[in-house]
Amino acid sequence: MTGNASPRIDQAFFKRMMDEVSIFGATAAGGLCRLTASPEDGAARDWLAGVLKAAGFRVVVDRVGNMFGILDIAGPGAPVVLAGSHLDSQPFGGRFDGAYGVVAAIAAATAVRDAVANGKRRPAYNVGVVNWTNEEGSRFAPSTLGSNVFAGKLEAEVALRAKDAKGVSLGEALAAIGYSGAEQPPRHVAAYIEAHIEQGPSLEREGKTIGVVEGNWGTVKYEVEFLGKAAHTGPTPMAQRRDALLPAAELVLFVRELSNRTGGALLSSVGRMDIAPNSTNVVAERVRLFVEFRDRDTARLDDACARFEDKVRLLGRDGVSVNMVHTVNRRPGLFDAALADLIEAIAAARGYSRMRLHTVAGHDAVPLASVLPSAMLFVPSVDGISHNEAEFTSMEDLVAGADVLAGVLCRLAFAGD
């Protein structure tokens, strides 16, 4: 595959969409709180559906709320080249994580549509945009639910039963905002490309504009629940207390110790802790921890997980029981090499500096890569900040990524000619 410099995106259209989508769930500090299937997410989805329909896309919503917009430029029934990301955010996230990939996909797909309308050749493939449900996993765990259902790695019924901290299921939440769909998603997908901010410092540090993502780190996640007994923190003798928070605290420190043993090469975190009854004068009866490990080295990752599981089993003592659930086991993997080469070729043809790298964060492209040719391209994150209201990427870099995506979609739509 070699580069081709046309078409280019409508920059004014792209900028307008970025401004518009950033309104839904906007925080005072300039970030976003747009949790999956919240009213804010519903408003953003309504906006997306309106933009897609106005641009001539055929909009499809599947059972788990994944939204697809298809431009039938090759005719109904033709395979689809798909691009996109997600609109949901972290509770205090940034404006660019996920939403950029959706907006870039719309700008790129419409650029291909216009090129087809002004040309003499008919493409071999349709082009499409997707907004995946619950990529972040901040309201419903685990993350990337929608893309995992699409990839056949998770049953739709299981995803719809996932519950938030208040006991509301994903199915109930989607129904409440009007996005509990009944349509079949496109099944003849030829390739998937996802544009995303890097969420790390590599591109900025190296002075590069486009990141050609070759693969993903491994990620393993657990939910661990300690069950003790609620009691008054005043009159209850210490020897009689069955405090679920004590072993939980020990486990938090052990998770960090596992990373320290590798000099920080293994990434570890306890990002969320639910405590019940969570009262200042009640001994904790139940504590649930959300634990994750990330590493590019499979052997090191597996060793850490084995040590962690042994530790969990040892902490079930002194009247406190423990339950452990393995929620995610994402192996280190590679994206489609030909697609990565195409992204690099298009970036080179358009004069953008570039580098190869792997994604540490999880993305919807990861589960899709196991069932169809998939790839990602990154644009720089200022100071490597993400999952934070201070997250920022310059408009120049955002446009560059969308322009490269347009070139990639065009080449794929014409079957690599």
Q: Are 64 and 160 contacting, i.e. CB atoms less than 8 angstroms apart?
A: yes
Considering Cα of 97, then 101, then 107, then 111, what sign does the dihedral take? positive
Residue 336 confidence (pLDDT) above 90: yes
Q: Are 46 and 87 contacting, i.e. CB atoms less than 8 angstroms apart?
A: no
Q: How far apart are CA 271 and CA 312, in angstroms?
A: 17
The model's pLDDT over 152-179, given as tens digits with 9 standing for 90+, comes to 999 999 999 999 989 999 999 999 999 9
pTM of the model: 0.88
The model's pLDDT over 3-60, given as tens digits with 9 standing for 90+, comes to 344 799 999 999 999 999 999 999 999 999 999 999 999 999 999 999 999 999 999 9
Q: List domains and CATH numbers for the chain.
A: 11-217+332-413 (3.40.630.10), 218-330 (3.30.70.360)
- The residues that bridge with 378 in the sheet, in sequence order, are 196, 211
Token code pair at residue 173: 């939440």
Q: Is 265 exposed, middle or buried (0-12, 13-18, 19+ CB in 10 A)?
A: exposed
What is the mean pLDDT of the segment spanning 324-352? Answer: 96
Q: How far apart are CA 280 and CA 303, in angstroms?
A: 38
Q: How does DSSP assign 140-184, residue by residue?
A: SSSS-HHHHHHTTSS-HHHHHH-B-TTS-BHHHHHHHHT----SP
Q: Are 115 and 126 contacting, i.e. CB atoms less than 8 angstroms apart?
A: no
Token code pair at residue 4: 């081709």
The model's pLDDT over 258-293, given as tens digits with 9 standing for 90+, comes to 999 999 999 999 999 999 999 999 999 999 999 999
Confidence tier at 187 by pLDDT (50, 70, 90): confident
